[in-house]
């Protein structure tokens, strides 16, 4: 595994965000963050801290500074218009039982 470039100072290990998919889960969920020197160490440490080594678990780590977040100040503009417009939501269909996990 190649090491991701360390963007912090030499003394500070960079912060990583950890995403874990549990055995029966469908998607990776953000479960926390940790400091590690490189990606390989981040994976190992995430396993120690967040998974208790359950088999069938998948872990993603990503440098925190690689994540771009939406601006909380613009929450209204981004999300509010959906709230009172039920016709925008596909909630009027009866799903067949065969379709799981929607």
Partner 1 sequence: MSQASVQVGSSPQVQYLLRIGDSCLILAQRLGEWCGHAPILEEDLALANMALDLLGQARALLTHAARLDGQGHDEDQLAFLREERQYLNPVLMELPRGDFAFTQVRNFAVATWLLLLWRRLQSSTDPDVAAIAAKAVKESAYHQQHAADWLVRLGDGTAESTARMVEALAQLWPLFNELFDADAVDAAAVVQGLGPSWAELEPEWTAHLNEVLADAGLAHPKASAYVSAGRRGVHSEHMGHLLAEMQYLQRAYPGGKW
Angstrom distance (rounded) from CA 51 to CA 19: 10
Does 20 engage in binding with partner 1 (CB under 8 A)?
no
Does 61 engage in binding with partner 1 (CB under 8 A)?
no
- ∠ CA 33-53-37, nearest 5°, is 40
Does 53 engage in binding with partner 1 (CB under 8 A)?
yes
Query: Is the Cβ of residue 41 or residue 71 nearer to partner 1 in the bound state?
Result: 41
Query: Is the Cβ of residue 28 or residue 40 nearer to partner 1 in the bound state?
Result: 40
Angstrom distance (rounded) from CA 76 to CA 83: 11
23, 57 contact by CB (below 8 A): yes
Site pattern 26..45 for partner 1 (x: CB under 8 A): --------xxxx--xx--xx
């Amino acid at each position: 595994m190649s090491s991701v470039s360390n963007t912090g100072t030499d003394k500070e290990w960079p912060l990583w965000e950890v995403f874990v998919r549990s055995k029966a889960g469908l998607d990776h969920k953000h479960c926390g963050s940790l400091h590690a020197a490189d990606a390989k160490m981040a994976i190992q440490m995430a396993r120690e801290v967040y998974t208790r080594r359950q088999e069938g678990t998948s872990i993603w780590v990503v440098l925190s500074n690689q994540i771009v977040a939406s601006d909380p100040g613009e929450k209204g503009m981004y999300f509010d218009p959906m709230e009172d417009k039920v016709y925008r939501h596909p909630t009027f269909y009866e799903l067949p039982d065969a379709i799981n996990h929607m």
